[in-house]
Every structure is written in structure tokens, then in C-alpha cells.
Structure 1
Amino acid sequence: MASNMGKKILVWFRNDLRLHDNEMLVEAVSKADEILPVYVFDPRHFEKTQYHTYKTGVTRTKFLIESVASLQQSLQAMGGNLLVLQGNPEEVLPALVVKYDIAEVYHHREVASEETAVSLRLEDALWKQKVNLKHFIGHTLYNKEDLPFPIKDIPDVFTQFKKKTERDAVVKPCFPTPVAINFVSLEDSGTIPEIGSLLQDSTATMLKIDTAFKGGEKEALAHLHEYLHAGEGIVLANATLKKHEIVSKLSAWLALGCLSPREVYWKMKDAEANYGVRPYFHQIVLGLLWRDYYRFMFKKYGNTFFKPQGFKKDGEPLALENTSALQHWKNGQTGQPLVDACMQELNTIGYINQVARQLVATYLVKELEVNWVLGAAYFEEQLIDYAPASNWGNWAAVAGVGNDQKLANNFDFEKLAKILDPKGVFAQVVRA
């Protein structure tokens, strides 16, 4: 039955937990008389995997809950709310379409297979209801249509991708943050779940959490501002590694979309105008380009990155068993001081820097000869900034089965150890 209340659009938030630079939200506000913002905690994101891990560990679960709560508070401040539910989105959302007489559903497109499959199943369910699922892209610095090549022709070699993109593509301006929104009225906006209700084995792991990361758009924007305007003083909280190192830590907020890559880019350009180019600014852009590259590679190659043989056509597959070598690596008890220090830090705060990630991955794959997918899956559980494309793409590269074979020789354990800890200070501190 058609409603007399005008057009209602359901805005399904996923890894885009922000109001700034959000095309999906901007368009929904302009096209609808009322919008219904929804977040769905999908129980499949917290299940045990075939790799002896959980899909989401306790540190990232905490960060996710904080990020959803922050978005809800922002919407409440505008006179509305975020409807928070638990279940499979492809079942939950079509029921909401009926309940609230929704005309259209908006969401951001993802690139990894599980997320894409959920979108397709939802699209099928909505099609039966004669309701359109509109896809948006908003996770990358460069939109795919702005690249100087179609997806199928994107160079596999990162340096070529970087060179051509920086030369020929343009970073678009950010979308404005909505100043007023008309919301569908809700009797009950649902409840944001506790960590313990999402995770099965949360009690023991909760004791290990010691992270300075706090989720949410407000935290993300505040941290970005502080980093750009007082960057000399910012170091990674709790890290014993390279106390002098300036670490942006932006990746966790980027992964959940609390922060837009374009917002980071343009705010950095503003800071450059004020202070000149600081030496660490180019690292920000490099990090954003690597994120884009792996997302576009996933778009180009689909599931290949998840396969143990990756892009190699031959090779004996290594077993997926939970060996003592794997367990010692996870616990930071290999006897290799630098590896153990990095793994203990990962387990405590959910973050280690890129060189540390490459070091512990190289050790697992090349020294312990453990199947790389077991390491990638453990990172998926532990990393607070986990993003499928970056994580699995980087691990495949370390294992020598990635799509850019020029990277295959970059991962030498001794070389990485010297870069990470030239004086052996980090390992000594942790052992003490």
C-alpha cells in the first residue's frame, strides 16, 4: 500500500560510519522526504573460521561498537537516530522495507567476496519487492571512473599504478556534510550490543585489551587534526617501537569509514598550505594509494587473493593445521625477540606498523614455513584496521603469490629487522 508520507529511503551503513564526505547520505537526503539510517551487526562477522581464528577479535569489536555508537550520537544530535539491529542484512533489510514502506535502499559497494555476496542476495530479495538497491562507491581516494585506465587494465605493478594515477587522475573534492536531515520516526531504535554478546570467547581476551584507539567519526577527525597540526608530537600510544617515529594511526578509522580518504587528502593539502610540506605527509598519500591499489586489484581479480596458491599456478598447498609453530607465533613465543615483541604488541593494542607486519609475516612464511593464509586470518582477527583487500593483498605479496611479482624479493627477514629496529632496542625493552 502506497504511503502518503512521501518517499522514504533506507540508508544502510556498513564500513562508512561517518556523516562527512558521504555521497550516499547526501543523495538520500536530497532525494527522500525521510531517511531511515540502519546499521546491522552481522553474526557471521564474529564466527570462528576454518583457519583456527575468529573473523573479528575483541579489540576491533570494541572499536566497531564505539564507531557505531558515535554515528548514532551524531544522528541523534540532528533530531533522528540510527536503527541498530542484529542479523543477516539480506533478511533484516527487506523486512524493514515492508515495515516502513521504503521506496529505495542505498548502500556502499564492497570489493571482497563475502561482502559482495551479501549485497547480491539483498539485491535479489529487494528485486522481488520491486525495490531498488542503489550502489555507491566511497572507500577510495580515487574513484574508479577517474582512473586513467579501466579496472581490467590497471597495472599489476604498484609503482606503475602509482605513477600513472598521480600523473593523470584527479582527487575529487569532498561531499558536504548534511546540516539537516528528515528522519523516519522510530518507536524503537534497537540496542548497540555489548562485546560479550557478539564474541563467543570474549572474557579471556578482554583482559588483554590495552589500546588507545577509540572508534568513531569525532575521534577520527580530532586525531587527523592533531596529527596534521601538531604532528611532531604524535607517536603511537603504548608502542615501545621507535618512540621518535611519527605514526598517523589513521588506518583504523579509514577501515571502518569513520574517516574518508579524500578528507585526509584535502586536510593534508590545507596543512601543507599553512606549514609547507612536512616530510611525513608523503607517507599519508602513499598509504592511501596502497589502499586504493589493493581495492582495485580485488575488483580486478576477485577471490584469487584468498587462495593459498594465489596467482601461482603450481606449488604444493601447505596444510591448514594448527601447529605449535603457528601457535607460538601467534602468542609471541617463537624465541625470535623482535618477532615476539611485534606479535605481543599486535595482541595488546591491535596495531603494528607496516614494516613490523612484513617482518612477522616473512618470519611465519619463510622461516617457520607455515601456510600464509593462517597468518592472514590471524591478522584479520587481531588488526584494529583490518581491511580485506589490504590485508590479504599484502600477505599474498609476502608469500610470493601476489599479482605484483616485483614485490616478491622485497621481503628479507634480516633486512626488515634492520629497518624496524636498527639498534635492537625494541626487542630488549620487551624482553625486560
Structure 2
Amino acid sequence: MARSTALVWFRRDLRLHDNTALRAACEADAVLPVYCFDPRTYGHRPFGGPDSFEFLKTGPHRTQFRLESVADLRSSLRDRGSDLVVREGRPESTLPAIAAAVDADFVTMHTWPTAEETQVESAVGRALDDVGVESRRFWGHTLTHPDDLPMAIDEVPDTYTTFRKAVESESSVRDPSPTPEIPSLPSETPEANDFPTVSDLDPTLSSPARDGRGVLSFVGGETAALARVESYIWEGDNLRAYKQTRNGMLGPDYSSKFSPWLNEGCLSPRYVQAEVERYEDRRVENESTYWLTFELRWRDFFQFQFAKHGTKFFQRGGIRARDDIDWRTDEEQFERWVDGRTGIPFVDANVRELNATGYMSNRGRQNVASFFANNLRLDWRRGAASFETQLVDYDPASNYGNWAYIAGVGNDSRDRSFDILGQARTYDSDASYVTHWLPELAALPPEYAHEPWKMTAAEQAEYGVELGVDYPEPMIDLEASSQRRG
């Protein structure tokens, strides 16, 4: 009998554990793992539509994290007698050529709900059809599988609470699958190739330096992902108080920080859930252990929302098709926001953390997005696109879904604006976070560190902080901008 050969196309599923596409490929007699660096994912690209703008698709932090993740995957495969063929090029051109070269019978891949990803996999499927190779698609990046939802995708509720209650009461989470035995490589395996560098993928970028002020050194790959789960849940015993600490802003363990590995596919959410359940069985089951599952379901919610609504989420009026908001374009204000020079310390500190490390706390993201969309009233999609550039843990559904939510054009049309100064006083009462990222304000007492514009000229001289010189004047009056929203 002729030996069967499969390709497994790795995408944002850079792991061996709980990988359905890999397990399906391993049913063949020979398996060739492949990864493609798609040039459309790098460099400056247009954000389409009638109000198009250009933005940097993938910044240095996520590019570096991805390179590390792919390298770790290759190392793990080689440890198991396999390998990873790496190519730079469009997958719909690259994969059929490799499949033909090894006489593959089928190609397995995971699927995602957003337009860019589905368009690429559809193009790959058509190209494989043209050379007589079957393509097999699998869903494997959510806690709950679509087939296990208690409703059809087009009937998924548009409010999270309704969705969560239905899923909790009427569905179950599948057990994560173990790492399979990986068959041998095809006899005529192509050259594996060296990895590109950050500057190879985008000549305008270079590898980012690790900033010691960051909350965590995010190293890409499944190895680091599993180590982080072990460290956070078991060694640090941090899950016990997760709900109480999750709104922190400084330090590695106020939240799980699993998101970079989840979104690049180095970590399966079902694996995380299994560890949560094991922790509940062996240590404690409480509100905090539930809350981590609660947050994983939020991630699921946006995945299924994008599967339901598609590209409507990327339109200025969002899924609500709202035309009653006067979204503005102001390049000077945009540049001040994106550089962390707004003159509002709580906003600037968060943006500077993002620019320096590729990461920002959930509390920070909500306030920074609210300032952009609700105080400045700049086109919320430009803010979301800026996050797409910088975030090491970017996921299209979570990012654009949350931005639309804050902007009032997504899953909640109510006013989602944040009282930024109130938030600063609540979550950074001693201004330790602000002064961590804005050291020029370190000499100020907390009330002035959050509102330096309240200082008199004499106080500015006393503390050695001159507004407009050492730190910017505020670009807007926060209270006035809140009152004129609409």
C-alpha cells in the first residue's frame, strides 16, 4: 500500500499540545510541518474602506515574539525527530508548491473567523484544489468549540452576559488533546531554511531591546507558555487571588498575562482551563478560579461575534451601524496620543509602556481607548490599528471588538466612557505606576503626578517640573471634553 503524506500548515497555532490540525496530519504515514511568513502581515498597509488610512501592520514586539515562537516550535519538532520548513511568501503560492514537491495527499490547517485570515486560507484551499491536494480545516483556538455552542453562530447573543450564561449552563469544554506521536518526514523533504530577522520581514524595524521596566519579559514559544502557566498558577499560587489583583498595573503576577501565548497559539485555552480545574481540585475553588474562566469566555465571545458579524466590526459605525457620532481626524492630536504626549499622565504612562514593551494592562487599555474615542472623538479604528501595531498579544477579534465596545459602536451601545482621573486615583492612588513610566514626574506628590496642570508656577519651580518643558501641557480639558461628547 502506498504511504500517505500530509502537510500541517502552522499559523497562529504554534504549539504541539492540544493542536487538532497537527493531530489530524499525524494520521498520515509521513508529515511535513510548514510555516509561512506572509509578507502581507508586515510593513505599512492600508486600512480599507471609504475613510482609508495607512498603518504599520505588525510592530517590532510582536514580530520578535512570533520569530521566537516559530523557532521554539522548530526546536520541539526536531526533538521529536521531525522539523519545520520555513518560507517567506504568500501561503497560497508556497504551500501548493511544497505539497506537490512531496506528493502530499492532504494539508491540515486551523481556521479563524476574521476576514484577512479566512481570505488567506480560502485562497490556499483553492490553490491546493488546483494541484489536486485536499485541504482540511479545523477550529482550535477557543475554549468552547463552535459545535458545542448551545446556539448557531448567527444566533450568538450580542451581549456577553447572555452568551456566558447560555454557554455555562448548556455546553461543556472539551478535554485538551495530548501531543501526538509525529510520523517521520517525507523522504524528499525540502530545505528547512533559516529564519528571517525582524528587519528581513520589515526593513523599517529592528529587534526591540528588552525594557527592564516591563511587567514581564515575554519570550515567544510553547516552552515559555507552559512555563508561565506553571509559574503563575502553581509556583506563585497566584490564581487564588486573581479576581482581587487582576486590575493591577505593576509587577508580573497581578494578572496571568497568558494572552501573548494564547493569541499566537503557543498556548491552548483548553489547556489553561484544565490547569484551572486541576488547581481547584488540588488547592482551592473560589471566585478567582472562576474568574479566569470568565475571562477566557470573554475571549471566546469576541471570536464568535466576528464569526457572526464579519467585517461590520471594522466599519466606523460598527455592528450598530451608528451614524450619530462625529468621528474626527486630527493628525496632531493622533500623534500626541500615539507618542504618549497628551499631557494626561495616566494616559501617557500607559501608552509609553505599550510603546516600550508591547504590553499594557487591561485597565490601561480601557482608559487609553476611552480617552481616544470618547474624549478626543478621533476615529476609533485608528486607535485600534495603533494597538494592532504595538501589542505583543494582539488578536483581531479581541482588539477591534473591545475598541468598538468602548467606542459605543460594538456589543454595547451605551456610553462606555471612563472617568480617567477617577480611574487613576483608584488604581494608582500613590502614582507609582505613572511615575514608573513618567520619571519626569517622580518628584511630584500623587495628586499632582496625576494632575500636574493644577500646580502653580511657584509649585512647578519648587518641584522642578515645568509644564510645556519637562512634561506637556494637557492637550484638552478632560472635564469639558466629557461634557460635550455626543
Give yes or no for TM over 0.5.
yes
Match 1:376 to one of 384, 391, 394: 384
Per the alignment, do residues 371 and 83 of structure 1 end up closer, same or farther by CA in structure 2, a change over 3 Å counting? same
Aligned-residue offset at 1:410: 6.1
Aligned-residue offset at 1:135: 0.6
CA–CA distance in 1 between the matches of 2:296 and 2:168? 12
CA–CA distance in 1 between the matches of 2:349 and 2:334? 16
Match 1:163 to one of 147, 162, 165: 165
Find out whether 1:360 has 2:362 as its counterpart. no
Which of 268-277 and 422-431 deviates more? 422-431
Per the alignment, do residues 320 and 126 of structure 1 end up closer, same or farther by CA in structure 2, a change over 3 Å counting? farther
Aligned-residue offset at 1:209: 5.6
Matched position secondary structure for 1:218: helix
Paired position in structure 1 for 2:196: 193
Residue pairs, 1:101-250, within 5 angstroms: 101-185=103-187, 186-203=189-206, 206=208, 212-232=217-237, 241-243=249-251, 246-250=254-258
Paired position in structure 1 for 2:433: 426
Which of 241-250 and 163-172 deviates more? 241-250
Residue pairs, 1:89-108, within 5 angstroms: 89-108=91-110
Equivalent residue pairs, number: 423
Q: Deviations over 1:33-56 (max 9, x none)?
A: 101100000011002033443110
Per the alignment, do residues 197 and 5 of structure 1 end up closer, same or farther by CA in structure 2, a change over 3 Å counting? farther
CA–CA distance in 2 between the matches of 1:332 and 1:240? 20
Paired position in structure 1 for 2:16: 19
Matched position secondary structure for 2:56: coil
Q: Deviations over 1:72-126 (max 9, x none)?
A: 0011011110000000001111111211111111100111101111111111111
Matched position secondary structure for 1:214: coil
Q: Which amino acid aligns with 2:432?
A: V
Aligned-residue offset at 1:67: 0.2
Match 2:321 to one of 302, 312, 316: 312
Matched position secondary structure for 2:174: coil
Q: Percent identity?
A: 38
Q: Could you tell me the TM-score, scaled by structure 2's length?
A: 0.82
Per the alignment, do residues 416 and 168 of structure 1 end up closer, same or farther by CA in structure 2, a change over 3 Å counting? farther
Paired position in structure 2 for 1:44: 40
Which of 239-248 and 166-175 deviates more? 239-248
- Kept after mapping to 1: 8 A contact 2:238/2:253: no
Which of 208-217 and 48-57 deviates more? 208-217
Paired position in structure 2 for 1:34: 30
Matched position secondary structure for 2:44: coil
Which of 121-130 and 324-333 deviates more? 121-130
CA–CA distance in 2 between the matches of 1:332 and 1:216? 30
Q: Which amino acid aligns with 2:433?
A: F
CA–CA distance in 1 between the matches of 2:144 and 2:236? 25
CA–CA distance in 2 between the matches of 1:392 and 1:244? 25
CA–CA distance in 1 between the matches of 2:302 and 2:2? 43
Per the alignment, do residues 381 and 277 of structure 1 end up closer, same or farther by CA in structure 2, a change over 3 Å counting? same
RMSD between aligned alpha carbons? 2.3
Matched position secondary structure for 1:49: strand
The structure with the largest alpha-carbon Rg is 2
- Kept after mapping to 2: 8 A contact 1:56/1:382: yes
Aligned-residue offset at 1:351: 0.8
Per the alignment, do residues 127 and 27 of structure 1 end up closer, same or farther by CA in structure 2, a change over 3 Å counting? same
Aligned-residue offset at 1:309: 1.3
Matched position secondary structure for 2:416: helix
CA–CA distance in 2 between the matches of 1:49 and 1:198? 14
Q: Which amino acid aligns with 1:38?
A: V
CA–CA distance in 2 between the matches of 1:244 and 1:116? 35
Paired position in structure 1 for 2:60: 58
Q: Which runs of 5+ in 2 are unaligned?
A: 47-52, 242-246, 443-486
CA–CA distance in 1 between the matches of 2:390 and 2:284? 37
Q: Which amino acid aligns with 2:224?
A: E
CA–CA distance in 2 between the matches of 1:43 and 1:337? 37
Aligned-residue offset at 1:172: 0.6
Q: Which amino acid aligns with 1:427?
A: V
- Kept after mapping to 2: 8 A contact 1:372/1:395: yes
Q: Which amino acid aligns with 1:413?
A: I
CA–CA distance in 2 between the matches of 1:263 and 1:350? 25
Aligned-residue offset at 1:181: 2.5
Find out whether 1:267 has 2:275 as its counterpart. yes
Q: Could you tell me the TM-score, scaled by structure 1's length?
A: 0.92
- Kept after mapping to 2: 8 A contact 1:240/1:426: no
Match 2:3 to one of 2, 6, 26: 6
CA–CA distance in 2 between the matches of 1:35 and 1:344? 44
CA–CA distance in 2 between the matches of 1:188 and 1:244? 40
Aligned-residue offset at 1:23: 1.3
Aligned-residue offset at 1:286: 1.9
Paired position in structure 2 for 1:343: 351
Which of 224-233 and 388-397 deviates more? 224-233
Aligned-residue offset at 1:278: 5.5
Paired position in structure 2 for 1:391: 399
CA–CA distance in 2 between the matches of 1:244 and 1:224? 13
